[in-house]
Amino acid sequence: MKDSLKSGNARKLLILAVLVLLTAASSATSIESENIFIEVADDRVDAEIQVEELSSDQFAYITTSEVSSVNASIAGQLSECTIRSVALGSEIRCETDETENFTVDMTYTVAEGFVEESGSERIFRHQHPVFRPTEQYNLEVVLPEGTALAQEENMSQVVSPLGGSIDTTNGRQISVSWEKQPSLGETLNFYIIYEDFKPGESPDPNNIREIVIFILALIAVGLLAYIFRRRIERESISKALEDLEEEEMEVMELLIENDGEFLQKDVVDELDYSKAKVSGIVSGLVEEGYVKKTKEGRSNKLVIPKKYSV
């Protein structure tokens, strides 16, 4: 497999042989960056090229694939482009009046695709000869939906060059991206081995039990954290009552001793105050927010609000 992924010596020699021709044919003298996005399922390439300087009225772009169609805009303006077959693949030329510091946005379709099959596996390949000064070359490849990277012990046999970033797009498709700072005359070679996604075997019951225990532990921790936070957020009733009058304190102490609630008629009995006096004290406590009062039978039920810890 590893040998099949390497380009033959003859192809390398061909690339080197045409390199001088490509340099002469290229009308762009300096490229700041190339950002290439390849949608493998559609055989489509989106390219954004930041050009520093152009010495011609045409922007030339060489690909190592046969291009079937192209759309391009230069500095935001649609451009007329032609496609010509060359030894390495295709040459795209687009008309422009721009000469420096402009962007070329290009979308083209590859006639024969980027993928070859090897048994149950598929191999994506992409080559890019650097025939003009390029500061940055960024490539992102999105694999077809329903596929996954091949299962190999050595990742270098699956994705090359190493150092690429593996991610997912929309949670359904795997993408691999590279950032390169190439040298003039270098040929960048990329490949990805992938296959149809195969769901794994049924999960081990022991693993399921461990997962359930882990989830229950998370729930328990969450509940404890919630209770602890609620306790912290509660204001201590004892601290809150420091500024109350003595008679108000006596009523509140009765509620505290009875788990935060007591009947108003029982307050009258316990404190030996008149109903009117107790009613006045309770009204003050309700107004200040220390007590909530609800009707219960022929009396009122007095309750310390939950925001206070008793």
Q: Are residues 121 and 164 in the same domain?
A: yes
The pLDDT mean for the chain works out to 81
State how far the Cα of 193 lies from the Cα of 295, in Å rounded to an integer.
76
pLDDT tier at 109, thresholds 50, 70, 90: very high
Pair (30, 97) in one structural domain: yes
Q: Which CATH number fits the domain that encloses residue 290?
A: 1.10.10.10
Domain count, the chain: 3
pLDDT of 288: 85
Asked if 26 and 139 sit in the same domain, the reply is yes
On whether both 168 and 129 belong to a single domain, the answer is yes
DSSP secondary structure code for residue 163 in this structure: T
In this structure, are 178 and 220 located in the same domain?
A: no
pTM strictly above 0.75: no
| Whether the predicted pLDDT of 16 surpasses 50 | no
Among the candidates 185, 212, 233, a domain finishes at: 233
Q: Which domain does 126 fall in, by range?
A: 2-196
* Same domain for 163 and 104: yes
Residue 39 has pLDDT above 90, yes or no: yes
* CB contact set of 245 (below 8 Å; sequence gap of 6+): none
Q: Across the beta sheet with 77-78, what order do the strands follow?
A: 77-78, 67-74, 100-110, 44-54, 28-39, 134-142, 173-180, 165-169
Render pLDDT for 154-182 as a digit per residue (tens, 0 to 9).
666 799 998 888 988 777 789 999 999 99
Taking only the tens place, the pLDDT of each residue in 210-246 is 777 878 888 888 787 666 555 544 455 666 667 788 8
Q: At residue 249, does pLDDT exceed 70? A: yes
